[in-house]
Amino acid sequence: MSENPDLMEERTLESERIYEGRILALRVDRVVLPGGRETRREVVEHVDCVAIVAIDLEDNVILVRQFRSPAERVLLEIPAGGIEPGEEPLESALRELEEETGYIAGKMERLGGFYSSPGYSTEFLHLFLATELRKGLGAPVEDEVIEVVPIPLRQIPGLILSGEVSDAKSIAGLFTVILGRKEVRK
């Protein structure tokens, strides 16, 4: 695949942070395009996150149901959360899985990662597969109300196609696991 010279990197001339909150910041960058033209980019700065596809011994995917204020609806999602300062992605994945679902993973495998919305956000999600699950204590963050929902893996494609699972990180994570399974690749 050859590289298109018109798609070379932009160069940032200056950045101005115009908002800094608890979970994100917003900056406006003045950039110069490869052809020399200047423009502006609005960038949401967000810490890197983890997303976990957790599968129990009965081949159920452990999903969480919670109200998402920006979407103004309850969503069915894979467990996920931000990486704390000084924390490695694996540590974060283990912590988030237990906090949100009450499960501890006997095995946690990194499956890669992806940007959530690279057109305007810096957020990168590290994707993990959690297996050999056992019940732990679970300790949801005090501002989260979460319902744990085990769903048979075979039902996941239908939930995605119907729109019941509709957030990008869950769709990307679930399809990564489904397409990576040996029985699917035959």
Query: Are 144 and 105 in the same domain?
Result: yes
Query: Are 67 and 141 in the same domain?
Result: yes
Query: Which listed residue (100, 142, 164, 183) is catalytic?
Result: 142
| Type of residue found at 15 | S
Domain that holds residue 28: 5-46
In this prediction, residue 106 carries a pLDDT of 97
Query: Are 18 and 85 in the same domain?
Result: no
Report the number of distinct structural domains present in the chain. Answer: 2
In this prediction, residue 47 carries a pLDDT of 95
Query: Are 121 and 178 in the same domain?
Result: yes
Query: Are 110 and 39 in the same domain?
Result: no
Query: Are 24 and 109 in the same domain?
Result: no
**Contact present, 61 and 139 (Cβ < 8 Å):** no
Query: Are 129 and 178 in the same domain?
Result: yes
Q: Is 142 a catalytic residue?
A: yes
In this prediction, residue 144 carries a pLDDT of 75
From first to last of its 186 residues, the chain has per-residue pLDDT tens of 556 666 688 999 999 999 999 989 999 999 999 889 999 999 999 999 999 999 999 999 999 999 999 999 999 999 999 999 999 999 999 999 999 999 999 999 999 999 999 999 999 999 999 999 999 876 666 677 889 999 999 999 999 999 999 999 999 999 999 998 755 444
In this prediction, residue 6 carries a pLDDT of 61
CATH of the domain at 143: 3.90.79.10
Query: Are 93 and 154 in the same domain?
Result: yes
Query: Are 90 and 39 in the same domain?
Result: no
Question: In DSSP terms, which residues pair with 121 in a beta bridge?
Answer: 44
Query: Are 74 and 154 in the same domain?
Result: yes
Query: Are 42 and 55 in the same domain?
Result: no
